[in-house]
Homo-oligomer: A and B are copies of this chain.
Amino acid sequence: MTTSTRIVLASRPHGAPTAENFRTETTELRTPSAGEVLLQTLDLSLDPYMRGMMSEAESYTSPIELGQTIVGGTVSRVLESADPAFGKGDLVLGYAGWQTHSVESAKNLLPISATHILDKGLPRSAALGVLGMPGFTAWSGLENIGKPQAGETVVVAAATGPVGSMVGQIAKLRGARPVGIAGGPEKVAHLRELGFDAAIDHRADDFVDQLTGATPDGIDVYFENVGGKVWDAVLPRLNTYARVPVCGLVANYNSTSLPDGPDRSPALLGRILARSLTIRGFIQREFAPTQTAAFLAEIAPLVADGTISYREDVTDGLDNAVEAFTGLLEGRNFGKVIVRVAD
């Protein structure tokens, strides 16, 4: 019998999650039945969408039930297989969540060899970040919705994160002019290293003026992953026919009530009309089944040869996942947040 340590949802957060909302449990795992495998989690991805799933409010995914293991993308090692597709020692991609071991249906797993990430000398955790869900979110949001053209201005916030940094670098590849927004001078400096044409600190008192100065020709694509005051600053600068892929609203995730009035939603619709804007929500899984291969074919070689940079913020041990997660929601991470659960 294998013992799994897991972190479950103890209570629903009201505002920012705290340690009290989580509970660590240990459980004995059953032997895998036919079609199943026993996995050891190696790397766990932490992402803002998990906050949405901790609430009961309807979102794009069903909420996590109380007592249920917190969800999350993982790279795992097969310890025992009852499915012909996998053998002991194989590395697999899946959604095992916040736990050290699990029994999973083989059909929910992808062999990491299918991504050719290891063949290219990249670490397995790249499958959770630059070449995984966040990277694909950036790529598919731009390919299908943002459609940056040469010379256009593309703005993204949380720009040192795994989605934002990829948005900027892909926009640059397309000949567009990426403008990145991040918090603090160290991150802003990193944006310049990544090739952003302009980098802005949202903590600066003159943030709005800086954004205006950095977008003299307005904004053609705003890749929305934060909401809040960044969105307020961007909206008046969106050009006619601007496109706004909306993949996340992390600034709102911890909100417990709507902001005070006036109600600006009619003004938002009015702006959409006046500027012929396209605002389009999306989740990467809409495009993943048909476009992941094209994404990997274009981007994996560019990551391997260093054309595209990425940065990971690694926390050791599942015990530290809660702190890493609350830090992520506050923007304290610097790069893709990975919890190294085992080596």
B257 touches A269 (CB 8 A): no
Q: What 1/0 flags go to A56-72 for Cβ under 8 Å of B?
A: 00111000000000000
Interface centre among A252, A270, A274, A286 (most CB of B within 10 A): A270
Complex Cα distance, B269 from A281, in Å, reads 8
Interface stretch, picked from A258-266, A290-298, A303-311, is A258-266
Interface stretch, picked from A17-25, A163-171, A243-251, is A243-251
A224 interface neighbour in B260, B269, B281, Cβ under 8 Å: B269
Complex Cα distance, B270 from A257, in Å, reads 13
Q: Which parts of A263-295 form the interface with B (CB within 8 Å)?
A: 263-283, 286
What count of chain A residues pass the 8 Å CB interface test?
42
A266 interface neighbour in B252, B274, B277, Cβ under 8 Å: B252
A231 in contact (CB, < 8 A): yes
A276 touches B281 (CB 8 A): yes
A227 in contact (CB, < 8 A): yes
B258 touches A267 (CB 8 A): yes
A248 interface neighbour in B260, B273, B281, B283, Cβ under 8 Å: B273
Q: Which parts of A198-224 form the interface with B (CB within 8 Å)?
A: 224
12 A-B pairs, CB-CB below 8 angstroms?
Answer: A227-B269, A241-B286, A246-B273, A259-B262, A261-B261, A263-B264, A264-B265, A272-B281, A274-B281, A276-B282, A278-B281, A279-B279
